[in-house]
Structure 1
């Protein structure tokens, strides 16, 4: 075997090098530059050119229109839900800290009464336009006015943000970038078609535009030119705004000639778990069960023959309703039972001068949304379809609660409460 021997001087050199290498990780490293707004702005500029522009070009947006919309564009650092690259992850409120209370707080009577008074005045001011809108789309004026009032205070609310700036910021560095990227590309298409100048395209902080609060994709699908000036102007034109709202509802399934719904009374012995659009039946079949209008008046004959659905947004702790498919058309505008009820009640106030719902909203106890999610998960393990364990008790959760209660010898309440959570556990 051949052996190699190192001379003492070379051996000392090798040992010194090994010592240096072993200590190298302990030596101070060059400090990495902390992220700054300026560096993120530079990344944003590169993103616009190297990422967004190629996709916009593939979608048919000309370079001239792209430059018109994005020239001098900067990030809006004041928007919520931002996740700038290189910055610490945004702090979000823990699900366990979010509280769920009675829906009653949503229906502030002072606010509703004020909107109704303004709506009645505007119904007279715009009577001719509203009549033409109803003839064209089949949606009654009070419903259109109610949405206009709810979304933008009948056009009086300040809508101060640049839609392009909001959408570009959120497409680049929000917690939901893909959603806003789609809407940003739709906004570029709106500008390219000449419907609105970039500087006049105003939106909310969430990118909802104009008096009707359409996202750009909804604008392209539903906005209409009703005043005949060649533009779909939901920012400045009342006729365009009203007709665009009506067109949205009609395309979402609004059935002309039908109401949105009726406050009702579900008698003792009839379960609240009848709820849900997938359990629709002729309203006459609901009356056969003993369900009546709270006013005591009969359901209109045309409604009796048509399908209706039970709705109990607070279970037995609040008003009960029989609603029509038009209720769910309103929900397409904003996917919330409470929103659709707000619109329905406001429309009735405008049209008929009625007041709040007759049955009051009762307190059922405060729960954490994480507790509701836990309750939903437990019901899922028992075979119930709750619509997902998201901490929000939609109709599938409410009726599953009622069905579980009935199966376990309890009176159905169809609403999550602290007592129910303890019982299911």
Structure 2
């Protein structure tokens, strides 16, 4: 059992490792294991025969599967989230961020929140068409749509599938406000649309930057663009008139928390004008996956990280309560919040929600009613 606040935690490696391919096969991946989803009736166990010992294992390839959806706008009523609707063009994310709080959602597909989450991606090619239909409904009322709340809308699959661009084309035509969260400089591909929408106060782009250390980033989010490329994307967006937020998320106790002021300073120099931040969350299977990741990459920091985290989570590894799940509570969480506020104020960042224009909304196809 975990004793509140001291970070002592059973090592998850043995349990998670039963379904894990060898290191060579998972090179470039974030998760160190591929545990069975919590809804599966059977457990999986990797079998290593002599060929695994003598031959170099094949790299784990990414599979992208299309999904036919009935609707594309997801609704929420969470009181601690500044939006009530969102769109995720993909399920799973090849960036492979080990800390991703969306990993447990892959269990609903009968897949693992571990390596499956970052190698078995589900795409929603009908998203633009579904969005246009939903926006055209007589009962629809415009409010900011959050794009990329669970998985990154600019992950590698987007280069080929271009679903996110299709969604933005519909939103631009409808003059509908959107907030985008991404780690990728692929967002610059759509700068033509974003600049046009920014001129109408219809868009905000948040770039996630939990660390500036390229070696740490390669382990934390192995297939996301390196930190310097994200800073360069901030600069390009800002120069084009697109409002930019730096999202220091997650802040990982004992691992990335010392970088807060430096990240904010570099982001401000790169044109970011707003701040978002969140403490590491460990819902569902993420707790074991994160513990196993620490055991492989930073075993000497594991106890301190989990100790500080449980201190900020009321003695638990994860606190799902509204108002607490993102920021935590107690001395450590208060110190993190104070550092963000002080550094942000000194650097001239804006705080709070940015109000985008929802009054210019025009229903797709509405011009046909004039004929």
Do these two structures clear the TM 0.5 threshold for a shared fold by scoring above it?
no
Give the number of the structure whose residues are more often strand, by fraction: 2
TM normalised by structure 1 equals 0.22
Q: Which has the higher contact order (CA 8 A, sep 6+)?
A: 2
Q: Which has the higher helix share?
A: 1
With the length of structure 2 as denominator, give the TM-score of the two structures: 0.24
